[in-house]
Structure 1
Amino acid sequence: MHKPPTELGFRGKTLQYLEQSIAHWILSEGALAFMLPTLEGRGGLHRAAVKVGDYVRAIDGLVLQGGMDVSPESYGELPLRPEWAGDRVRDLYELDLIWECIIQGKPVLGICRGCQLLNVAFGGSLHQDIATQVPEAIAHVDAETYDAHTHPVNFTSGSLLARLYPHNDEQARVSSIHHQSIRTLGNSLVIEASSSVDNIIEAIHWQGSSFVYGVQWHPEFHQPEDRGRLDSSPLLREFLRQAASAK
């Protein structure tokens, strides 16, 4: 958060945050959640005494949470509107983390923005705004209902999701809080799930040497007692299993 509201009391400062829901989701399975602050100075990214590789060696796996748009500059475009400029500094740092995790064989799970950034990391591109660039699509974000907004997704036959959720008949309802989405799929990525209504890509998997997975929805917002939305536990347990096996 580069320009926090003055009422927060941090005038002129940059805030880095860990959203409580995602921390509690990870903690729910007995794992510890830590925030990795960026290695950034006022003049842009720089390398200090602590390196990205040091961070990755200290963790078992990386979860990329949601937030500000991915910058179009990160996939070779200019923003179509000023408000879609995204956060280039965050992109650069998280891209470094992604590739360092791949080098060290640590699993990565991208959520919403994190899923989009994984696609960009592998050379893919994004729709800067679904409503503008895919006008036939359903609404994938609703300002009024926010995390209560949902839509159905179809699992790709034979996908990890289909194996993790064998009783969902390859379809489930998930939260939807995004106005951007994957346009061109990145190299060596496969589609794990798509929106049942408009085929917007909703989950991806890397066909590489380590576990790299992205979901467009917010599993941390799916409460266990909510039978109307996909149970988030199997996905988290699979990620943590991958983290344990990568040690």
Structure 2
Amino acid sequence: MRIGLSARLLHEPPPVLGFRGKTLQYLEQSMAHWIMSHGALAFMVPTIGEHLGLRRAQISVRDYVGALDGLVLQGGADVAPETYREQPLRPEWGGDRIRDLYEIELLWEFLIQGKPVLGVCRGAQLINVACGGTLWQDISEYVPGAAAHRHDDLYDAHYHEIDLLPDSRLASLYPPDAPRRVNSIHHQAVRNLGSDLRVEALSVGDGVVEAIRGTGAAYLFGCQWHPEFHAKEAGLLDGSPILQDFLEAARLARAG
């Protein structure tokens, strides 16, 4: 399987990196290694834009998607509120509009070609927004009674419990006694659910949406936690069934 990873964008690299005035596109190694550890090849998909001197006649998103079997949307910067028709309530919540547009175009081309899409953290939020939904710009400030979903000091060692909704595909991937504990590294979350999506997991206690799935023919799933960080952590929800389910969808799509 050849799995595409959407690029994280660094628009203003620190001077110490030696790329003054340049934009970096990169992936986080845990995600790539997670995919590779399940027998698939990981390929980062760069942005395509005329401002880079690359004409659409030379290569297109359609060309890239045609060469790949599935797409994983990585975590990273906030989704820009402008992308879901709002204004940022604070300057630091402005997000990355450039990345939003790039990833939404990728997402829809994969679905058009009948190939699966998996979104992680920001990726789950991007799926919701691409389907017409909105986000809470900050959980702690705007969701009454919400638990802490991010801890700057603990980072990926900050955990909480989730409920897998009965009769959901996500719940079917796990035995009833499997751990339901996941990492939590986000301050934004699904507010209004997008079209043709269903909720498959909620945060225990505050009901914040933790997983969503598309109801259409193409495979579309997003989880708010980072399953790629669970590989060696006992007592956490195993991330392997999620990736294996996604890769099986890619194999079926490839077989046609």
Q: Which TM-score band (shorter chain)?
A: over 0.9
One of 204, 208, 223 as aligned partner of 1:200: 208
Equivalenced residues, count: 245
Cα offset, 1:135, TM superposition: 4.0
Cα offset, 1:43, TM superposition: 8.2
- Describe the SS at the equivalent of 2:64: helix
- Describe the SS at the equivalent of 1:132: helix
- In 1, the alpha carbon distance for the partners of 2:52 and 2:62 equals 22
Output aligned runs, 1:114-125, within 5 Å.
114-125=123-134
> In the alignment, does 2:58 pair up with 1:49?
yes
Cα offset, 1:45, TM superposition: 10
- Which stretch of structure 1 is more off in the superposition, 226-235 or 35-44? 35-44
CA contact (8 A) 2:50 2:56 kept: no
- Describe the SS at the equivalent of 1:86: coil
Corresponding residue number in structure 2 for 1:210: 218
Corresponding residue number in structure 1 for 2:135: 126
> In the alignment, does 2:81 pair up with 1:72?
yes
One of 37, 40, 56 as aligned partner of 1:31: 40
- Describe the SS at the equivalent of 2:202: strand
The gaps in structure 1 that reach 5 residues or longer are: none
Output aligned runs, 1:160-239, within 5 Å.
160-168=169-177, 172-224=180-232, 226-239=233-246
Q: Deviations over 1:161-213 (max 9, x none)?
A: 210012336x6000100000000000110000000120000000000011000
If the length of structure 2 is used for normalisation, what is the TM-score?
Answer: 0.92
- In 2, the alpha carbon distance for the partners of 1:46 and 1:220 equals 35
> Identical aligned pairs, as a percentage?
59
Output aligned runs, 1:10-159, within 5 Å.
10-42=19-51, 47=56, 49-159=58-168
- In 1, the alpha carbon distance for the partners of 2:53 and 2:206 equals 39
- In 2, the alpha carbon distance for the partners of 1:187 and 1:37 equals 28
RMSD: 1.6
If the length of structure 1 is used for normalisation, what is the TM-score?
Answer: 0.96
Q: Deviations over 1:76-127 (max 9, x none)?
A: 0011111111111110010001110111000000000000000001100000
CA contact (8 A) 1:107 1:211 kept: yes
- In 1, the alpha carbon distance for the partners of 2:51 and 2:12 equals 13
Seen in structure 2, the aligned counterparts of structure 1 residues 43 and 243 have a Cα distance that, compared at 3 Å, is: closer
CA contact (8 A) 1:70 1:86 kept: yes
- Describe the SS at the equivalent of 2:176: coil
Seen in structure 2, the aligned counterparts of structure 1 residues 3 and 196 have a Cα distance that, compared at 3 Å, is: same
